[in-house]
Structure 1
Amino acid sequence: MNNMPGKNKAAYPFLIIAGSLACLVALSQLNYSFSYKDFQFRKLDMLSDLRTSSPGQDKNNTALAGRTGKGGTVTDTAVSVVDSSGTVTTLPNPDAHHDYMEYTGIMQYASAQYSEDAAGLHKFLQALADLKAGKRKKVRIAYFGDSMIEGDLITGELRDSLQHYFGGQGVGFVPITSVVASFRTTITHTYSKDWTDYSYKKLPPSNIPLGLSGHTFIPSSNSWVRYTPVKKARLDKFNEISILYGPASGTGLTVNDKSYTLDGNAAVNRLDLRQDTGLPSVTIKYAGGAAGPLFGVSFEDDNGIYVDNYSFRGISGIELGKLSADMIRRMQQEHTYDLVVFHYGANVLWRPELTDYSWFERPMNKVLDSLRNDIPATSFLIIGTADKSYRKGDQYVTAPGVPALLAVQHDLAAEHGTAFWNLFAAMGGENSMVKWVESETPGANKDYTHFNRLGASKVASLLYKAIMNEYRQTSTVQ
């Protein structure tokens, strides 16, 4: 029988609603988070739709709330940071409602530990605005990476796009020698084989600093290096030429047969050669005297934006901890950077199934701490690793280490008040490397790790668009 005594059907809807509410209240008290692939179980905020500002996201989606230094406000679209002098800095707040594993734009963070005016990309974006408005002459980017960017891959296309919009003529910094000189297409670079190359892998004596590129070069009796411009827009002539070198006393050089003497006690010194511009090539020869350390040569114009490629094959980024604070500070005085980019990951993912990256996170924390303190008024951008695939069974799939490493890289950005861009998400997310490799027009190599020239150009385009989106958002907000 359906009509059972003692049962009141009219109460069923009330009981169902009450039970559902009870479950929701119970769930709201839980705060479990899993970062494996796309599954996350976060604490439920039942009043989220009634709030006028974000209450601060969990570690996997940290908003700028709680990271605005000595004062500030957070809205759905922007964050205002107030520094010790009362100056208000307004930043876009794209991460307030985006998961870092899926968001393809640049996420910006501020931290009370570091200079408020260097939060996120603020300093860099302001420099771009001033450059465009004619209020300053130059903007520089130091772009650090591994083999992903060697030969000026990614950086070459990024430089070209930025110079097309903001102005500039020149390839920027080039080391004295390079293992990929024959591979690089943005400058013709030849040299003698008798230079002594100290590096992260062969440290120099204690009285000789390691250069910002991770290299320091000492000449022998017949050492020479030659640079020739290439027939490409904004790279077809040399205008301003600067030799960057370490402590030297009476080091003789000839530049296109004109004699110079290098003298300087600082960790980084600069010799400008504007009078030798407009030549079809520049040949530098050692001409006797004390064999002082040379770092490289910079090719610029008197205005515009410049991207210096600091690639070093086979490293993870933690090697930058070997650079001296004195050298970094002096380099910033002689060759000022408005943005420092870290693009690492391929060599961290050396075991595809490894998911514990504490061995990388601990020393990288120290690297970021040091650099943030050594050049405090500079913006920093951490680029999250690209997808990396490995063979599992009969197919290639995204390595389990990729999302684990991205979590570490994102947290490093949030904790140090830098910007973060997820290249993995921007290139398509899970298993995107397989698509890039197996496309009819491949963008990556058969190692399922490295981009080819076409792929590097596409990555540069994605990064350029992300930067310009922040530039235009900031201009609109301000």
Structure 2
Amino acid sequence: MRHSPWLTLALVAGGLLILGAVAAIPEALRPAGLKLPTVDLSMWASEDAALQVVPESDSVATASEAAELPKAARQGAGLLEFPQGDSLGFQKFARALDGAATRVVRVLHYGDSQIEGDRLSADIRGMLQNRYGGMGPGLQGMDPFVPMASVDHRASGNWRRYACFGRPSDREPTNLYGVRGIAHRYEGISASMEFRNRNYGYERVRQGQKLTLYLGPYEGPAEIKVYYEDSLAHIRYYAQGDPGLMEFKAPRPMGRVRVEFKGESPLCYGAAWDGLNGVAVDNVSMRGADGLGFKRIDASHFSSSLKQANPGLVIMQFGGNAVPYFKSAGEVERYGRAFARQIAVIQKALPEADVLVIGPSDMAHKVGTEWESYPYVDEVRDALRTAAHLQGAAFFDVYGFMGGAGSMTDWVARNPPLAGSDHIHFTPNGAQKVGKALAAALEQELARHAN
């Protein structure tokens, strides 16, 4: 059954509101057995060794200086903040985009549930593809946890999902998750996945011309069939141990592609539906993640996966899932140091890519009969900003953009509302407001580097 994009958005928003409603119930009054996902605080306190600082040639990146960074070293459209003394900005990303006429330049957008359904990523992709070319929805999981609003992503068969975050029972035993930090394996002997276009959203996302499958080694003989617009285009056979990266090029842009698998399943890291050149933006939503799961991925595997994807820009949007659990400023500081290590892992693998950290939004909970911002939202924002600037990365302050403390309540009260009644997640209108502001800031920063 084919669902409309509006139904998809409604389901996403409804699910987030239910989670928020449950969170508002005092724990003592919740039904027995009803638990919310929790964050692993132990990881924040571990590995507090000296950070590996990755400075750019004319940026300031020592630990002592990072502690004194101003809260607003802004460039771009007034919303992108770079480390003090950094005049390079997104020079590396701009340099990568100079080659977009002949190859695909990727943007990896990691984030928590605020980006589910392609929120924020869609506006970034729309701006970049309109300016630099490109098409398609980018890299997606085999079986969507939350579908994109602008692409009808279907899967059949019994797919099992593994993730480097969340419940320990969802871990992959070998810690191999691919570049998305999320992998799938189908049970049985067959499965399929499919992208279909929708008449919704940015036009360029609706078609693709190159399909790339990121798979682990085959554990036995397998067959893969690829269909464009219901017509069989490719059949490939693989033996045990064959390398799993496959590319299929269509003769022209297509609005529908289907992949059928037969045989024992390899680990499936994702499928990218892109153009032959231009920009691809990959929305990697990690519901419940605090942004510290990247170091759970096998280090050599994650490094090679990042190099294989070869993005020009990596966006890391986290913090919101950690905010409700902090009890002290010391915990926030440890979280910031742990997050800086995640940035360092990515920078070590991708020295020619830029990194942008996006901080949390304002978040509110009920105190008596009133909604108040969580106690440590601004401290988490500051910790992530410091982590970003320490590592020579840029920062985008969603909390400040909204208006700071108490702004979530104002966004809920807008007409139409910009945030849901859970006082945590944006509505589609609110997400678009933030996404367009971020896209405008990126566009102005890139214009600064135009030849």
Q: TM-score, normalised by structure 2?
A: 0.75
- Structure 2 residue 404 is the aligned partner of structure 1 residue 440: no
Alpha-carbon distance in 1 for matches of 2:89, 2:216: 32
- Shift of residue 353 of structure 1? 6.6
Amino acid at match of 1:191: A
- Structure 2 residue 351 is the aligned partner of structure 1 residue 382: no
- Structure 2 residue 93 is the aligned partner of structure 1 residue 124: yes
- Shift of residue 429 of structure 1? 2.1
Judging changes above 3 Å, is the alpha-carbon distance between structure 1 residues 372 and 97 closer, same or farther for their aligned structure 2 residues? closer
Judging changes above 3 Å, is the alpha-carbon distance between structure 1 residues 120 and 71 closer, same or farther for their aligned structure 2 residues? closer
- Shift of residue 179 of structure 1? 2.0
- Shift of residue 211 of structure 1? 2.0
Q: How does 1:85-96 map to 2 (within 5 A)?
A: none
What's 1:239 paired with?
209
- Shift of residue 106 of structure 1? 1.0
What's 1:248 paired with?
218
Bigger relative contact order (CA 8 A; separation at least 6): 2
Counterpart secondary structure, 2:107:
strand
Partners of 2:123 and 2:439 within 8 A in 1: no
- Shift of residue 263 of structure 1? 6.3
Alpha-carbon distance in 2 for matches of 1:264, 1:337: 30
Larger radius of gyration: 1
Which one of the candidate residues 197, 207, 214 is aligned to 2:181? 214
Amino acid at match of 1:234: R
- Structure 2 residue 131 is the aligned partner of structure 1 residue 165: yes
What's 2:29 paired with?
none
Judging changes above 3 Å, is the alpha-carbon distance between structure 1 residues 97 and 396 closer, same or farther for their aligned structure 2 residues? closer
Amino acid at match of 2:177: L
Which ranges in structure 2 are unaligned for 5 or more consecutive residues?
1-52, 62-68
Amino acid at match of 1:140: R
Amino acid at match of 2:430: G
What's 1:205 paired with?
173
Which ranges in structure 1 are unaligned for 5 or more consecutive residues?
1-66, 73-78, 82-94
What's 2:378 paired with?
403
Amino acid at match of 2:235: S
Q: How does 1:411-450 map to 2 (within 5 A)?
A: 411-450=386-425
What's 1:192 paired with?
156
Identity %: 22
Partners of 2:128 and 2:279 within 8 A in 1: yes
What's 2:256 paired with?
281
- Shift of residue 278 of structure 1? 4.5
- Shift of residue 325 of structure 1? 2.8
Partners of 2:209 and 2:250 within 8 A in 1: no
Q: How does 1:21-170 map to 2 (within 5 A)?
A: 72=58, 98=72, 104-109=78-83, 120-128=89-97, 130-131=98-99, 134=101, 136-170=102-136
Partners of 1:204 and 1:210 within 8 A in 2: yes
- Shift of residue 99 of structure 1? 6.5
- Shift of residue 328 of structure 1? 2.8
Partners of 1:142 and 1:308 within 8 A in 2: yes
What is the number of residues matched between the two proteins?
376
- Structure 2 residue 236 is the aligned partner of structure 1 residue 260: yes
> Could you report, residue by residue, the CA deviation over 1:33-67 in whole angstroms, capped at 9, with x for unpaired residues?
xxxxxxxxxxxxxxxxxxxxxxxxxxxxxxxxxx9
Partners of 2:137 and 2:206 within 8 A in 1: no
- Shift of residue 447 of structure 1? 0.9
Alpha-carbon distance in 1 for matches of 2:194, 2:54: 49
- Shift of residue 400 of structure 1? 2.2
Alpha-carbon distance in 2 for matches of 1:262, 1:337: 28
Q: TM-score, normalised by structure 1?
A: 0.71
Counterpart secondary structure, 1:440:
coil
- Shift of residue 464 of structure 1? 0.8
Partners of 1:142 and 1:339 within 8 A in 2: yes
- Shift of residue 327 of structure 1? 2.5
Alpha-carbon distance in 1 for matches of 2:56, 2:315: 26
- Shift of residue 450 of structure 1? 0.5
- Structure 2 residue 400 is the aligned partner of structure 1 residue 458: no
Alpha-carbon distance in 1 for matches of 2:282, 2:222: 26
Which one of the candidate residues 160, 174, 184 is aligned to 2:140? 174
> Could you report, residue by residue, the CA deviation over 1:420-461 in whole angstroms, capped at 9, with x for unpaired residues?
111111222222211111111111111111011111111111
- Structure 2 residue 321 is the aligned partner of structure 1 residue 347: yes
Alpha-carbon distance in 1 for matches of 2:143, 2:398: 30
Instruction: Let me know the Cα RMSD of the aligned residues.
Output: 3.1
Which one of the candidate residues 305, 327, 338 is aligned to 1:363? 338
Amino acid at match of 2:182: H
What's 2:17 paired with?
none
> Could you report, residue by residue, the CA deviation over 1:126-185 in whole angstroms, capped at 9, with x for unpaired residues?
333x157x5x5332110000101011111112211221222211110111012212xx21
Alpha-carbon distance in 2 for matches of 1:373, 1:158: 25
Judging changes above 3 Å, is the alpha-carbon distance between structure 1 residues 303 and 432 closer, same or farther for their aligned structure 2 residues? same
- Shift of residue 379 of structure 1? 0.7
Which one of the candidate residues 248, 254, 278 is aligned to 1:304? 278
Amino acid at match of 1:223: A
- Shift of residue 396 of structure 1? 2.0
Alpha-carbon distance in 2 for matches of 1:242, 1:174: 10
Alpha-carbon distance in 1 for matches of 2:393, 2:240: 34
- Shift of residue 320 of structure 1? 1.4
> Could you report, residue by residue, the CA deviation over 1:320-355 in whole angstroms, capped at 9, with x for unpaired residues?
111223233322343210111110122011247754
Partners of 2:157 and 2:190 within 8 A in 1: no
